[in-house]
Structure 1
Amino acid sequence: MTQPNLGEQALNKAAEVAIDSQLDAVDDLKVKLKSNPAKLVQGKVDQIEVTGTGMVMQQDLRVETAEITASDVAINPLKAIWSELELTQPANAAAELRLTEADLNRALASEFLSRKMQQLQISINGGSSQVSIQKAQLRLPDDQIELEVALKQMPENEFKAFSAVAKPSLKDNGQRIDLEILSATGQGLSLDFATELFSQIVELLDLRNFELEGIVLQLQNLQVQDNCLLLQSAATISKIPDLQS
């Protein structure tokens, strides 16, 4: 039976503490380095795995589970001696985030997104209308997103409601989530209006809001399954968060 690598264990713990410091809350967080003492002295790490559950990011945005895996990582060997994990060059990684219906509705109800949903400009057919979202709620049946919205339409200050079902897909190399509206009902709202409003609300759930410091995500695949939104991304890790950030 091999002896535990104390250097790896110390780096794992230091990275966990540093990442935890960037979160408002977390149920469980693990960082696991795979290397050996000879490689660590040379600043080489075979793999870094970060896994977390119940991670609450900035602005009270929550992720049910997150997994990030990077291979062939270059680190500063001198810093490693003092249990500090510093990258000497960006590392490529794969990331998978799972958000539940409750996570998404928590985000939509957060003060951060509630402010953004006031006075939205909806432009269709050459015209423009301003609305304020009073309440928005998502459901996630398989392969679909259902949205119910209560809104106030200006300048008439009319209160209206609409619901829609859409099938999401990725456009523009993962930069945008496209929605195919399958059905929509509303009080005096056209299908074009509902489509544009639905799209704007989904865009507010910006993937960048769920990034940790030093990690940039590029969405590659999006699936709705088991009442969850599964996001698979390529990731570039430029740094491991530190306690001074």
Structure 2
Amino acid sequence: MPDQHRLEEQFLSQEAERRISEKLDEAEKIEIDVQTDLLKIVQGQADSVSVTGQGLVIQEDIRVQEIKLQTESININPLSAIFGQIELNEPVNAIARIILTEVDMNRTLASDFVRSQMQSFDLDVDGKIVSFEAEKIEIFLPGDGKIECRGRVLLKENGNTRPFGYTAIARPRTHSQPAMLESFNCTEGGGISIELVTALMHKAKELMNIPYFKWEDMVFHIKDIKVETGSLVLLVETQMTQIPSSETLSSP
């Protein structure tokens, strides 16, 4: 006779895979493994949930090459679990390993979704406000732990607006070293003042030291970044108030 506990796990896992796969634009591979049994389901508990995915595409232009996520023990809604949907009764901690390729990152940066989220920001430069409006950003991963960024912004200062192009090479913050800027060069727009460069560096430091990021029902804390040739590997700790649902994955 088959192991009834394993049948329950298979049902929950396969149903969760089906629900999420239906809302992804594309998925080369997705596997969800729910560790639980009938008694724990009735009590609203599960030992853990693991998610493995490859080639996941959300909203057409947002693609993740690979993700592996593992939760700790969780408290779930037993009625929803019986129908194959995992709803959390309490927040749960998880750790994820995410691989992003250079090609996918640039496709995402050029997508309508990301462009709609790009906002201008202001800097106080010696008592004067200078505004930046991002127009284009490209990321290159040449290896040796380096990230190269090439971009173009509209620079608004002293009542004038002009394009400003730049290239920057940096090493991201890791568990063992702070973020390092190796070079910054102006490629369009005639350069900028030392005072503005200083203000930009302070802004960049502020952004790189943000302790966490929030998206929908999840809070992300990047523990480590490994830069490889053509890809970026992130080790991320998350706290979720809900497992990503089909509605979350398909929301604009």
TM-score tier after normalising by the smaller chain length: 0.7 to 0.9
> Who is 1:11 aligned against?
12
Give the TM-score, by structure 2 length. Answer: 0.74
Give the corresponding residue for 1:222: 225
- Does the Cα contact within 8 Å between 2:12 and 2:82 map onto a contact in 1? no
Offset at 1:197?
A: 7.4
Distance 1:243 1:115 in 2: 22
* 1:129 paired residue number: 130
Q: TM-score, normalized by length of structure 1?
A: 0.76
Query: Runs of 5+ in structure 1 lacking a partner?
Result: 172-177
Aligned length: 234
Following superposition, the deviation at residue 45 of structure 1 comes to 2.2
Q: CA RMSD in A?
A: 3.4
Q: 2:170: which partner in 1?
A: 166
- CA deviation profile, 1:105-144 (whole Å, cap 9, x unmatched): 1222122333454644244444332233332211123322
Q: What percent of counterpart residues are identical?
A: 28
**Offset, 1:243:** 5.3
Q: Residue 174 of structure 1 aligns with which residue?
A: none
**Quick check: 1:93 aligned with 2:94?**
yes
The amino acid across from 1:220 in the alignment is: K
Q: Which amino acid aligns with 1:101?
A: E
**CA distance 1:41–1:158, shift in 2 (3 Å):** closer
| Structure 2 Cα separation of the partners of residues 236 and 118 of structure 1 | 26
Q: CA deviation at 1:49?
A: 0.4
Distance in 2 (CA, whole Å) between partners of 1:200 and 1:62 is: 27
Asked if the contact 2:12/2:81 (under 8 Å) is kept, the reply is: yes
Deviation at 1:179, TM superposition (A): 4.4
Q: How does 1:141-156 map to 2 (within 5 A)?
A: 141-154=143-156, 155-156=159-160
Which residue of the partner structure matches residue 33 of structure 1? 34
**Where do residues 192-231 of structure 1 align in structure 2 (5 Å cutoff)?**
192=198, 195=201, 207-208=213-214, 211=215, 214-231=217-234
Offset at residue 220 of structure 1 (A):
2.1
- Name the CA shift for 1:220/1:28 in 2 (closer, same or farther; >3 Å): same
Is the contact between residue 213 and residue 219 of structure 2 (CA under 8 Å) also seen in structure 1? no
Please give the alpha-carbon distance, in whole angstroms, between the structure 1 residues aligned to 2:146 and 2:9: 43
SS of residue paired to 2:160: coil
Post-superposition shift, 1:38? 4.6
Quick one: distance in 2 between partners of 1:235 and 1:19?
19
* Equivalent in the alignment of 2:74: 73
- Please state how far the C-alpha of 1:69 moved relative to its aligned partner: 0.4
Query: What's the secondary structure of 1:192's corresponding residue?
Result: helix
The Cα of 1:183 is off from its aligned counterpart by 0.9
CA 1:161–1:67 in structure 2 vs 1: closer, same or farther (change >3 Å)? same
Q: Contact 2:220 / 2:237 at 8 angstroms: preserved in 1? A: yes
CA distance 1:181–1:89, shift in 2 (3 Å)? same
CA distance in 2, matches of 1:150, 1:3: 59
How far residue 83 of structure 1 moved from its aligned partner, in angstroms, is 3.2
The aligned residue for residue 175 of structure 1 is: none
Q: Check conservation: 2:76, 2:89, Cα contact below 8 A.
A: yes
CA shift digits 1:177-196 (9 cap, x unpaired): x7432111114124436646
SS at match of 1:182: strand
Higher deviation after alignment, 30-39 or 61-70? 30-39
Q: Counterparts of 1:22 and 1:207 in 2: how far apart (Å)?
A: 24
SS in 1 for 2:47: strand
Inter-CA distance 17–216: structure 2 relative to 1 (3 Å threshold): farther
CA distance in 2, matches of 1:236, 1:96: 14
